[in-house]
């Protein structure tokens, strides 16, 4: 169970105009500005739920994830995950969670993947039995057999991301935070990652919180969406709710209409139409989100 109540977080940002003169001035006096990253964020997430946490760049998604994972301390507000305050009981808390930052790496660059896994085994004090069991399961699900003995620097991004996912799950966390896990991946890798997350959630009831800009991730994985903008929760509901908020009900209706009721026969006999339909609706979804974000700018 995850609850966040009235969480605020602000950063100080150094600020100056471009140019040599300004740079020299800044040597003597720095101007800083306080940027409110999160203001009054509240939500609750039940065990085993998969939630999409979305919003435009700079909305506060990563800040929220970092507070939830005990890295950052909020200015005010409360947050409880399985009865623990992340930034206060940091070490106990992080034993129960797994985190994947899509834009960073937790694997050691110059050594084979397996060495990084062995290190994680010691960091989390995972028993040999559990380690072996989890490693086998993850290797199979993520198709890692060929990758484990290769130094990380020689893996492709997609291969590395599969290894990153495995690394975050070796200690069987109850909660998994995914911060843009599919960023920069090709279609095949994206599908593999999505499928894996789905299976993980189904098999182990792992709570998953996912931030992404890829609306297909959201569509494939989560029933519930929390939409934030400028540090506030703007919507907590389903994908349909979001489309309604965007104010394009008809195109949205048709999209979900076909998706839900389309028969297997239809899928198979009209490969081409389906492909066209798919690209069209992907664009639709992106357009809906874009228009929604634009609206939010005005608010």
> Least distance from C-beta 222 to other proteins, angstroms?
22
Rounded to whole angstroms, the Cα distance separating 80 from 83 reads 5
What are phi and psi for residue 203, nearest 5 degrees?
-80, -40
Residue 92 as a binder of other proteins (CB under 8 A): the answer is: yes
Residue in 38, 94, 234, 242 binding other proteins, rule: CB under 8 A: 94
Q: Which stretch binds other proteins (CB under 8 A): 88-96, 132-140, 236-244, 264-272?
A: 88-96
Number of H helices, E strands in the chain: 12, 9
Residue 114 as a binder of other proteins (CB under 8 A): the answer is: no
Residue 106 as a binder of other proteins (CB under 8 A): the answer is: yes
Residue 72 as a binder of other proteins (CB under 8 A): the answer is: yes
Angle 187-204/128-142 helices, nearest 10 degrees? 140
> Least distance from C-beta 264 to other proteins, angstroms?
42
Residue 125 as a binder of other proteins (CB under 8 A): the answer is: yes
Look at residues 143, 226, 219, 157 and name the one whose alpha carbon lies nearest to residue 185.
Answer: 157
> Least distance from C-beta 63 to other proteins, angstroms?
9
> Are the CB atoms for 99 and 179 separated by under 8 Å?
yes
Rounded to whole angstroms, the Cα distance separating 212 from 252 reads 20
Residue 119 as a binder of other proteins (CB under 8 A): the answer is: yes
Residue in 16, 36, 40, 71 binding other proteins, rule: CB under 8 A: 71
Residue 196 as a binder of other proteins (CB under 8 A): the answer is: no
> Are the CB atoms for 299 and 247 separated by under 8 Å?
no
Quick one: 122 or 146, whose CB is closer to other proteins?
Answer: 122
């Amino acid at each position: 169970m995850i609850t966040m109540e009235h969480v605020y977080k602000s950063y100080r940002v150094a600020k100056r105009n471009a140019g040599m003169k300004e740079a020299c001035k800044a040597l003597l006096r720095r101007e800083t500005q306080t940027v409110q990253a999160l203001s009054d964020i509240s939500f609750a997430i039940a065990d085993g739920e998969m939630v999409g946490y979305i919003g435009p760049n700079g909305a506060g998604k990563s800040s929220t994830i970092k507070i939830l994972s005990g890295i950052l301390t909020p200015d005010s507000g409360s947050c409880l995950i399985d009865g623990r305050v992340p930034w206060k009981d940091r070490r106990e808390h992080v034993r129960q969670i797994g985190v994947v930052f899509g834009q960073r790496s937790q694997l050691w660059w110059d050594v084979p993947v397996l060495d990084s896994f062995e290190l994680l085994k010691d960091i989390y004090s995972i028993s040999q039995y559990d380690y072996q069991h989890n490693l086998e399961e993850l290797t199979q699900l993520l198709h890692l057999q060929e990758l484990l003995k290769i130094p990380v620097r020689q893996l492709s991004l997609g291969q590395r991301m599969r290894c990153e996912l495995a690394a975050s799950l070796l200690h069987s966390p109850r909660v998994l935070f995914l911060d843009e896990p599919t960023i920069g991946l090709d279609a095949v890798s994206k599908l593999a990652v999505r499928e894996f997350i789905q299976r993980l959630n189904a098999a182990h009831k792992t709570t998953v919180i996912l931030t992404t800009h890829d609306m297909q991730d959201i569509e494939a994985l989560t029933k519930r969406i929390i939409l934030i903008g400028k540090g506030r929760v703007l919507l907590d509901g389903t994908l349909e709710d979001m489309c309604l908020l965007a104010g394009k009900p008809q195109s949205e209706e048709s999209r979900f209409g076909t998706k839900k009721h389309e028969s297997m026969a239809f899928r198979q006999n009209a490969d081409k139409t389906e492909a066209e339909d798919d690209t069209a609706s992907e664009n639709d979804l992106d357009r809906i989100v874009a228009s929604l974000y634009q609206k939010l700018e005005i608010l």
